[in-house]
Amino acid sequence: MTYCVGLALAQGLVMLADTRTSAGSDNISSFSKLFLFEEPGERVVTLMCAGNLAITQSAMNLLVEGIDDGTGNVETILTVPSMFKAAQLTGRAVRAVYEADGAALKAHDFSFDVSFLIGGQIKDRRMRLFQVYAAGNFIEATAETPYLQIGERKYGKPILDRALRHDMSLTGAVKLALVSLDSTLRSNLTVGLPAELVVYQRDSLKVALSRRITADDAYFNHIRQQWSESLREAYRALPDPDWGDANDLPRVTGDRI
């Protein structure tokens, strides 16, 4: 499994991915799922992927080696002129892998399981964040829903729904993303450290921070522990029910139902 989350905020982007891959619980490895393309002053693009590793690696190879746009013009993530074109190119890479491998995967009862988050900015164009599906189509994050997730989404979603705001600071957003990852790490063994983090400040056209977060990262361990303690504290502070000895529910008897 995988957990990748991308936050597209007024101030910039936060992209965070775990690195665990698993083909069954007895076959666990560590592979980067975050790919960072940077030409300072020209473009910063971060791609994160989830799904079948053979599919994501094939698609990544196409995105770096280049895909012919049908007119003999070969595009890569390092040459596309806009983030929209980068998302389109990613979709075309996914479709090319499907054409090459889809039938064989189906013959072996593997689903064509792949998704990407692609976020960044290219000179003179807007910063954008997209999610590309296995069908090669895609959606974009908006101010109203400024985050996208792929992989094991559910455990880390509640805190984002409660606290993420489009106008928050990038530092605040990094903390939220880390808390979201922490909830996922605790509940799904097939999501694992190290994690990889990229922070991009809007219109800067250079990476603000890139960090590999290992299991012995002092800061991450500190906030994991503080978060756990705060939650337990918050829970202890909840008042007791005032329902007295309410007895609202009917009993099932032999002749009921």
Residues found near a second copy in the complex (CB under 8 A): 34-38, 60-61, 64, 76-78, 154-155, 157-159, 161-163, 171-172, 174-176, 179, 183, 186-187, 196, 198, 207-212, 218-219, 222-223, 226-228, 230-235, 237-243, 245-254, 256-257
Could you tell me the smallest distance in angstroms from the CB atom of residue 235 to a second copy?
A: 5
- Backbone dihedral angles phi then psi of residue 21, each to the nearest 5 degrees: -120, 145
- In angstroms, the CA 170 to CA 101 distance is 39
Could you tell me the smallest distance in angstroms from the CB atom of residue 65 to a second copy?
A: 8
* CB-nearer residue toward a second copy: 21 or 183: 183
* CB-nearer residue toward a second copy: 24 or 250: 250
Query: DSSP code of 193?
Result: S
Could you tell me the smallest distance in angstroms from the CB atom of residue 53 to a second copy?
A: 13
118: how many CB neighbours lie within 10 A of its CB?
Answer: 28
Could you tell me the smallest distance in angstroms from the CB atom of residue 199 to a second copy?
A: 9
In this structure, the chain runs to a length of: 257
The beta strands (E) that lie in 40-191 are given as 43-51, 67-68, 74-75, 114-122, 128-132, 138-140, 147-151
* CB-nearer residue toward a second copy: 202 or 211: 211
Could you tell me the smallest distance in angstroms from the CB atom of residue 230 to a second copy?
A: 3
* CB-nearer residue toward a second copy: 108 or 251: 251
Strands 138-140 and 128-132: antiparallel
Looking at the DSSP bridge assignments, the partners of residue 50 are 115
* CB-nearer residue toward a second copy: 4 or 60: 60
- Backbone dihedral angles phi then psi of residue 31, each to the nearest 5 degrees: -135, 135
Residues 6+ apart with CB under 8 A from 100: 58
Could you tell me the smallest distance in angstroms from the CB atom of residue 105 to a second copy?
A: 21
- In angstroms, the CA 168 to CA 159 distance is 14
* CB-nearer residue toward a second copy: 138 or 182: 182
